[in-house]
Amino acid sequence: MSPDAIVIGGGCAGFAAATALAEAGARVVVLEARPGLGGRATAFTDPATGARVDNGQHILMGCYTETLKFLARIGAADRVRWQTGLKLTMIDRAGHQSVLALPALPSPLHFIAGVLTWDALSWSERISVLRIGSMITAAAAAPSALRRDPPGLGRSVRAWLEQNGQAPRLCELFWEPLALAALNQSIDQAEASNFVRVLERVFGPDPAAAALVLPAVPLDEMYAEPARQWLAERGGEVRVNAPAKLVVDGARVRGVRVRDEAIDAPLVISTVPWHSFDALFDQVPPGLEQTVANATALASLPIVTVNLWFDGAVMDEPLVGLPGRNFQWIFDRRAIVGGNASHLSLVSSGAEAIVSQTNDELAATALREVRDALPAARSATLRKSLAVREKRSTFSLAPGAPPRPGTRTAIEGFLLAGDWIETGLPATIESAVISGHRAAAAS
Ligand SMILES: Cc1cc2nc3c(=O)[nH]c(=O)nc-3n(C[C@H](O)[C@H](O)[C@H](O)COP(=O)(O)OP(=O)(O)OC[C@H]3O[C@@H](n4cnc5c(N)ncnc54)[C@H](O)[C@@H]3O)c2cc1C
């Protein structure tokens, strides 16, 4: 029997779309080209130790409302752990440790109190952060005004910060690690309006929006496996090793082809990333040429993660920020997902400068930065290291980047989803899930 809908891609966008359709009663088939599920938010088994390792530490936030709705739908809300508010320990290049903590107060008092009590900054620096903060909270309260004249449009994040009186030290200590985590692109390249939209969501009216929400299990177990099971219980099917090609009939979709097998369906949702969009077509159907050209022209940005296993505990917090270094964040995987091993994950966002280093070089840089920042790591023995390079983690948000497409296409019955669809958000799980939900709603 032909399915009601085919979803191409088994990542966040694909499972968000497929489960939303199945919730409305559709019989859905999800096709994933790779042998494993999860796309860019996944985990793999380290052949040397058998340990499950994420392809890179992911952070969700309280403002990921569509993602949290998706996790609740598939019964996986307990697979993430909430921090009660934003609490970040930062260790600067001189080794000075400070804590930025937003207390449980109504917005914007939580932001004001957090910044005013952050002793890493001088008083004048705290006041200049608050100046931007008040602009963001005002904009968040009046989003339509913001849309008419979005702050930072056409300007880099750094130029926008300078224009708003943020000193270089303040950029290094506070804004750069935040912007890199949010945009995965240097503050000299990324367009500031993208950053402003993120800040608006994080520091908007609901103080819970700023809470960190960390996956409490390996990433694919957080959502892909529960979603697969949930779909199977509702008559759906998830196939791996199934690279799909679109089949159209005039200006209407007919279904897909997986190698020699044809699968017909009145609705096909693509969630493939921008860099593999053109491979969906043997011949680009009329009306999709510009979308394919824009997708192909969108640049990709890397994230490098180095996992280090020590012979004993080396940190007390689940995560620590390292402003001004190659690896901007250290995560204690034992505190986040449990287990017995002292396993740290160091994340380098916007990692063009180090992505082509060898594994040994990456491990040496990561170890040096951990030992610089964490005294307990100096006497601990490194047992093992494992570098993961995701060269196409996210897409560029530089001024002049090609426009992102909408949900609908010129082909009837063929819809687009994926984090790179125009959601107003950078490449994130939340953008992917929003796009998947939109495609399901548009069907
Ligand atoms: C290292 C790293 C760290 C990150 N950190 C964060 C973070 O902290 N917070 C956050 O929110 N986001 C983070 N992200 C981004 C987040 O992972 C992505 O935005 C999100 O997973 C994208 O989901 P997606 O479904 O749109 O695309 P994908 O996950 O790329 O899924 C698309 C799927 O389509 C499949 N596919 C492609 N072509 C075909 C075909 N022809 N047929 C069938 N299947 C096909 C692919 O194999 C893939 O599985 C990070 C990403 C990486 C790589």
Q: Determine the distance separating the centroid of ligand 1 and the alpha carbon of 241, expressed in angstroms.
A: 16
Backbone angles phi, psi at 157, to 5 degrees: -60, -45
- CATH number of domain containing 252: 3.50.50.60
What count of other Cβ atoms lies within 10 Å of the Cβ of residue 282?
Answer: 10
Which of the listed residues 29, 271, 280 should we mutate to test ligand 1's pocket, taking the one with most ligand atoms within 8 A of CB?
A: 271
Q: How far does residue 271's CA lie from ligand 1's centre (Å)? A: 9
C-alpha pair distances (Å), 390 with each of 157, 176, 184, 303, 359: 24, 21, 12, 5, 13
Average the pLDDT over 351-370 and give the result. 96
- Residues 89, 177 within the same domain: yes
Q: What is the CATH number of the domain that holds 343?
A: 3.90.660.10
Q: For residues 294 and 305, state if they share a domain.
A: no
The CA 383 to ligand 1 mean position distance, Å, reads 30
Query: Average pLDDT of 353-368?
Result: 96
- Give me the pLDDT at residue 143, please: 58
Q: Evaluate the CA torsion angle 55, 60, 66, 71 in order and state its sign.
A: positive
Is the domain of 325 the same as that of 376? yes
Measure 420 CA to ligand 1 centroid, in angstroms.
Answer: 10
Residue 51, pLDDT score: 85
Q: Whose CA is nearest to atom 5 of ligand 1?
A: 58
The verdict on 98 and 156 lying in the same domain is yes
State pLDDT tens for residues 117-138.
Answer: 998 999 999 999 998 888 887 7
Is residue 345 very low, low, confident or very high in pLDDT (cuts 50, 70, 90)?
very high
Do 419 and 281 sit in the same domain of this protein? yes
**SS3 (DSSP) at 327:** coil
Q: Ligand 1 centre and the CA of 12: distance in Å? A: 7
88/107: higher pLDDT: 88
Q: Which atom of ligand 1 is nearest to the CA of 243?
A: 42
Last residue of a domain, one of 156, 178, 210: 210
Q: Give me 369's structure tokens.
A: 């930065």
Atom number, ligand 1, closest to the C-alpha of residue 418:
26
pLDDT-wise least confident of 80-94, 306-320, 405-419: 80-94
Nearest to 440 by CA among 310, 269, 238: 269
Of residues 115, 84, 198, the one with CA closest to residue 152 = 198
Closest atom, ligand 1, to C-alpha of 279: 41
| CA 40 to ligand 1 center in whole angstroms | 3
Predicted local confidence at residue 144, as pLDDT: 55
Q: How far is CA 106 from CA 68, 113, 210, 402, in A?
A: 22, 10, 12, 39
Using CB atoms within 10 A of its CB, is residue 391 exposed (0-12), middle (13-18) or buried (19+)? middle
Residues 322 and 294 grouped into a single domain: no
Position in ligand 1 atom list of the atom nearest CA 393 = 53
The angle at the Cα of 51, spanning 48 to 57, to the nearest 5 degrees, equals 115
Same domain, 423 and 293: yes
From 37, 428, 433, 438, mutation site for ligand 1 pocket: most ligand atoms within 8 A of C-beta:
428
Highest mean pLDDT among 81-95, 144-158, 200-214, 282-296: 282-296
Nearest CA residue ID for atom 3, ligand 1 = 56
User: What is the pTM assigned to this prediction?
Assistant: 0.96
Type of residue at 195: F
Neighbour tally for 222: CB within 10 Å: 27
284 & 419 share domain = yes
Ligand 1 centroid to residue 38 C-alpha, Å = 7
How far, in Å, is the centroid of ligand 1 from the Cα of 356? 21
The pLDDT of 249-268, averaged and rounded, is: 97
Query: Which structural domain, as residue segments, surrounds residue 349?
Result: 300-395
Average pLDDT value for residue range 242-263:
97
Between CA 156 and CA 171 the distance in angstroms is 13
Domain shared by 314 and 422, yes or no: no
- How far is the centre of ligand 1, averaged over its atoms, from the C-alpha of 392 (Å)? 9
Average pLDDT value for the chain: 93
Residue type, 9: G
pLDDT of residue 85: 73
Do 321 and 179 lie in one domain? The reply is no
CA angle 200, 205, 208 (to 5 degrees): 95
Contacts of 168 (CB under 8 A, 6+ apart): none
At 205 the pLDDT is 83
Domain match, 386 and 432 both? no
- Give the number of domains in the chain: 3
**pLDDT-derived band at 319, boundaries 50, 70, 90:** very high
Enumerate residues lining ligand 1, CB below 6 A.
8-14, 31-34, 39-41, 55-56, 58-59, 243-244, 271-273, 276, 279-280, 303, 305, 390, 393-394, 418-419, 427-430, 432
Q: pLDDT (tens digit, 9 = 90+) per residue, 9-64?
A: 999 999 999 999 999 999 999 999 999 999 999 999 998 888 899 999 999 999 99
| 89 & 68 share domain | no
Please name the residue whose Cα sits nearest to atom 10 of ligand 1. Answer: 428
Burial label, 355 (beta-carbon count in 10 A; 0-12, 13-18, 19+): middle
Q: In what order do the strands lie in the sheet with 60-61?
A: 60-61, 212-215, 80-82
Alpha helices in 374-428 (DSSP H): 375-379
